[in-house]
Structure 1
Amino acid sequence: MVGGDQGDGPQRLPRAIYEKELFRLQAELVELQEWIRQERARLVVVFEGRDAAGKGSTIKRVAEHLNPRVARIVALPTPTERERGEWYFQRYVAHLPAAGEIALFDRSWYNRAGVEHVMGFCTDEEHRRFLRQCPVFEQLLIEDGILLRKYWFSVSRTEQQRRLRKRNEDPMRRWKLSRMDLESMTRWEQYSEARDEMLEATDTPRSPWYLVESEDKRRARLNVIAHLLSTVPYSEVPRPRFELPALPPLSGRRRPSREHYTYVPDHAATL
């Protein structure tokens, strides 16, 4: 079994330590972004793993302070009827980064190795073909200069159940709970077997998987960001400091009365 699936993870990182280090790492991510943009590099980061293992919250922290024109989160919906008739990797190729961009895949082409295979959304032959073609596909990306990083988030069965139960009880997060999440609980062993088979076929020297133990989400987020930064040979990019211009004097123009406009009510004043 992959580390973390059995529980008994590390003690939760104190919030003060977590927030201080997260701020430092996010500042480094901004430096990485500027290096990517200046060097016209292309970075693809794949986030995969168990349901409720912390992928989404980690992606959120990675992208939080980045320029959305440079760093995009790719979270594709269920394929359309037309996309089902395409070469499997085709819909993902359309979302690969251009020069100077970062693509963060919230799940990826590895859907075929996981949920599609376990839930019977693809045939056994399509699954076997994916496992054969995927290393070749990723090799082509790397040979073309794309920096590819792949993270698998692992979580214990009991912790997954606790998190899914918490989602179900929280009206602000209930939208994150789906039928597929419930299936992941009842098909735990099948998902484990599918994951092990996927790792065996696609964990290659040039495109390795990095496993993330996520019993403590705070630790997992810091570990992933710190590791991602360590794998890219970026450097600080000098950025000019702009001198703000002095405000010109007002012309004395008479403005229309406030009664001509409709303002948003001051809700805060009612609190």
Structure 2
Amino acid sequence: MKRRFLYTIIAICLICSFFSCGQNDLLTNANDVSYVIFDKDMTTDTTAISFKFYDEGEDAKIALGVKVYGKLQENDLTFSLGFDPVRTTLPESQFELPEKCVIKAGELKGEIIITLKNYDILKENTKLLALKVNEEGEVREGTAKYTRAIISVTDRIFKPVWWSVGNIGNIDDRFNIAETYYLGVYSDTKYLMFLDELKKDDIVFDGKDMNILRKYSLRLKNTLKNINGDKPKDKWLRDENGVIIEVPIAG
């Protein structure tokens, strides 16, 4: 009796496994459908854009990564983008999407460029743009959490992720390397000054290259030394909160 019961359980497990694999194959192994997804998880990764980082009147050109799976790509894959009206709060007049997007034959990844336009409301508010892949011809949306590219847009300064998250230390005691070793405590004024140092060399910093962080933190430290000169410390340059701007990097 026990053996018969065990066989029954095994049979049920095999059947469940079969149907589960069958459902997965609908997405991963279909040879007549191309599933196009964005490379960021929309539930955890939002692309944050501030026009404070651009020149007056300049449009923001944003590159988004896309991937394809399913049908073997023997030819260039052409598809188009739309936007999700439920999630999007940015007016249509403030963004431009490419007429067509292409992933080259034999490639599994591609890049698309969209354009964002500034307007007065962004000085006080943050708006969202949720992009989606249009299902046309052989193209379909893929894995659910990669079916939208979420972009937040504002004309205000904000603390970047690379200056916020705990990215060094052990599991129980994480701290931020930019704050601890390079730039110190965040303020809008300090960040704008750091961006000015980057702009002098047309450098864009995404938080990954520590050599860039070190080089331009030192530049900022030297700029502050020149501004403060021989003034007593209580007369040193202060941020928007009235706190003296200091940069802890050694050197």
TM-score by length of 1: 0.22
The structure having more radius of gyration, on CA atoms, is 2
TM-score by length of 2: 0.23
Question: In proportion to residue count, which structure has more strand?
Answer: 2
